[in-house]
Amino acid sequence: MKNSLVASALAAALILGGCSKDKPSAPQKPDFTLVTSATIGTGGGELATDDFALIVPADAFSELVTLELSVSEKILPFGAEGISKTYRIGHLPASYSSALRLRLKIEDSLTLSGYVAIGHKTMVSGLDTAAIAYFLQPAIDSGGFLICELPAPDPEQGLMKVSDRTGYTTGEDLELIMRAVNRPPAYVSAEGHFRITYPQIFSDAVAQLAADFEDAFDSITALGFSYAGRTRWPVQVSVRDLGTGCSGLYMPSIWGDNYGCIEIHETLRQNRSGLRATAAHEFMHLAQDLYDSRNRISKSKFHSEHYWLNEGVSTWVEGKLMTDPNYVPGPIVSREMAPFRGMHAGISVGTATHGYGMAGLVKYLLTRYGQQNLISVYQRIRAGSHPVTAIDETFAPSPQWYEEFLRDYLQGRVYPVALGTFLASSSGDYVIAGAADTLRNFPDSYPDLSARLYTIRLLNRLDSTATMSFVAAAGQLTIFKYRADGSVEFLTSGSPQVDVMRPRSLGDSGWGLVAMLTNTACQSPYTNPRTIAFTMTVSRPTELNFNRCYMDGDFVAHMMRQDSSQYTVMINPTIINPAPGHFVGNTFTAEWDTTYDWGSSKGSITATIDAIAGKISTYSAVDTTYRADLAATTAMRIEITGLPFDVHAHRGDAEGAAACQFVTLFERRSYDPYWSLQVQSIECDTNCSVAVLFDRM
């Protein structure tokens, strides 16, 4: 397959630490003219004109290949630093066994040091589409020609196979662009890990850039990353004008991991923190590339499945080289909503864009669980794990913590992002028109591990005794209060319903509400859409002014006598408070210790009613009676949960076999000095029931 070359701008907006291409534009058409071709086989040969030669030694090619040479005087990478025409080689085999030699005629004087800029189309960091990136090979000036080597590709090894699931193999051909360049001698960093070529205008900044790269090398080493996959050092770094779209980029090389290189925008010489951040960001990409098990051609042609994670990690790692604890990486800006779109599903808006915005997730996980865990994620990815799987296996299953992450993220506890940034992208706005405005429905679609935000304003128009209820058919609900000045505080969370009591008081104090609904579903491929019905309801509380609670039941009881013999019988336990009880809000309590002519009774009742949901949330009672004439005591305890409740009849009941599902605890024992009888367990059949009734004495 022949790759067509695109010599266009690398991106659309300058973003520190990476590239951005939010709105694709029509590509420029390279203006190259075919000047010659040559068929070369195992015996070697040349593709040559008077101005150019590619010399192929014997046995470098394994079969006959027809190479093409084109030239352009209009496509001029490196601008005025270029001292030759621009050449393009077509149909170069992706695999050849030994280095090739290049010879380019220079048309301007070589006043500094000579290089040949070699570019090829690749999936550079920061873009979702391929672009031309360059590295500079040192060249020797020989009689008006610059001579250098074109390296032989690294052999495929380890998990890097000749062909992978992308279907792109090392048998396909390549196209290269090259031009002679006049530059100062390269600057090698103090530890020898980086070799920087740069234009003269960058001379005052190159030493600092070299130090920044060495700091990045040390910081990423401290995270546990190994560079063993790369055996050739130093890394080539080229400083040049990258146009208006990039501050830097990492280029995975068609020649293999040993040739992956970095480009830095020359304008960063005026931006000290930007230069340092970009060095960390792009070198992190190089380290990540060593944990990508795909072959060199696939890495050059396609971004990995975990590319969004790479961008998130590289954006986060910028902060490792910064002294400001509140540092916010530039790539996050305008991408703050990425975590709400879905951990993996957010790539639908652009993988690079999504990845930049996921730096908050990376920071949250590494702050909570420890930075030493990051390398475990990449070790799992190298072994073939999906990025979400690698994260879950390293930390904890994401459904357990994703809502908590978003909760902290929204409150500015991860990065200091203004609340207004989040609310500007809310999925719904409930502006309360008046006390009668009591219902809103928001059915929306949510992919795995995503969330939506909804604002509720003008709470001061509600009735002062109203309650606001939030109900979702699935997922996790989280409620915050916020003010116009950007203050935000967590209130409550839960599922499938959460309540905010007397929201009018919040409105009177200048607060509104933000409801966040998180879909915590997490199943491969982690992009599954899920429609969730979300309802907001405002209701006045039910008037609960009763002072007596009566419990009645009919159960099949399995009994045990003092002698351990057992039998089954229908029993009818009842509990009623002989002394008045009372409600505080929606919770009823009563206690008594009463003496009668036949003996005594001591006990208590606590019951909580959820009038909106129509159920008795909890009922708990104990009652101990003593019969003086028999010297006999009966002790009983019962707990009921979720019993359906009719607010108008102020009664909750269940009948038949289903009655027992609401009775979560039942104990009863009768005894005197000579015998005892104890309930071992209860069950329900069609004749059974349980009821709780409230009234007044």
Q: Residue 554 has which token pair? A: 């009919």
Q: Verify that 296 and 220 share a domain, yes or no.
A: yes
Q: Verify that 261 and 201 share a domain, yes or no.
A: yes
Which residues lie closer than 8 Å to 254 by C-beta, 6 or more apart? 94, 120, 122, 153, 174, 296, 297, 300
Query: For every residue of 5-72, which 3-state class applies, written as one string?
Result: CCCCCCCCCCECCEECCCCCCCCCCCCCEEEEEEEECCCCEEEECCCEEEEECCCCCCCCEEEEEEEE
Residue that is last in its domain, among 515, 539, 563? 539
In a domain, 647, yes or no: yes
Q: Verify that 628 and 481 share a domain, yes or no.
A: no
Domain count, the chain: 3
Which residues lie closer than 8 Å to 3 by C-beta, 6 or more apart? 121, 173, 174, 175
Q: Verify that 49 and 148 share a domain, yes or no.
A: yes
Q: Verify that 145 and 81 share a domain, yes or no.
A: yes
In a domain, 190, yes or no: yes
- The predicted pLDDT at position 585 comes to 79
In a domain, 403, yes or no: no
Q: For residues 333 and 480, give the distance between their C-alpha atoms in angstroms, rounded to a whole number.
A: 23
Q: Verify that 79 and 58 share a domain, yes or no.
A: yes
In a domain, 558, yes or no: yes
Q: For residues 669 and 215, give the distance between their C-alpha atoms in angstroms, rounded to a whole number.
A: 74
Along the chain (697 residues), what's the average pLDDT of each consecutive run of 10 residues?
30 41 43 95 96 96 95 92 96 93 94 95 86 93 95 68 37 83 97 97 97 98 96 96 87 93 94 95 97 91 94 97 92 95 94 95 97 97 96 96 97 95 95 89 95 96 90 97 95 95 94 97 93 91 83 96 94 96 91 94 94 86 94 95 90 95 96 92 96 94
Range 408-420 burial, b when 16+ CB lie within 10 A, else e: bbbbbebbebebe
In a domain, 607, yes or no: yes
Where are any strands of DSSP class E within 168-281? 173-183, 187-188, 194-197, 235-240, 248-251, 261-265
Do residues 174 and 3 touch, judged by C-beta distance below 8 A? yes
Q: Verify that 40 and 138 share a domain, yes or no.
A: yes
- The predicted pLDDT at position 170 comes to 41
Q: Verify that 483 and 625 share a domain, yes or no.
A: no
In a domain, 683, yes or no: yes
Q: Look up the CATH number of the domain holding residue 181.
A: 2.60.220.30
In a domain, 277, yes or no: yes
Q: Verify that 490 and 629 share a domain, yes or no.
A: no
- The predicted pLDDT at position 517 comes to 97
Q: Verify that 254 and 117 share a domain, yes or no.
A: yes
Q: Look up the CATH number of the domain holding residue 457.
A: 2.60.120.510
Q: For residues 677 and 202, give the distance between their C-alpha atoms in angstroms, rounded to a whole number.
A: 94
Structural domain boundaries, residue 688: 548-695
Q: Verify that 487 and 423 share a domain, yes or no.
A: yes
Q: Verify that 531 and 559 share a domain, yes or no.
A: no
Do residues 657 and 686 touch, judged by C-beta distance below 8 A? yes
In a domain, 363, yes or no: no
Q: Which SS3 state, helix, strand or coil, does residue 441 take?
A: strand
Residue that is last in its domain, among 539, 565, 595? 539
pTM above 0.85, yes or no: no
- The predicted pLDDT at position 19 comes to 63
Residue that is last in its domain, among 485, 519, 539? 539
Which residues lie closer than 8 Å to 696 by C-beta, 6 or more apart? 545, 546, 547, 548
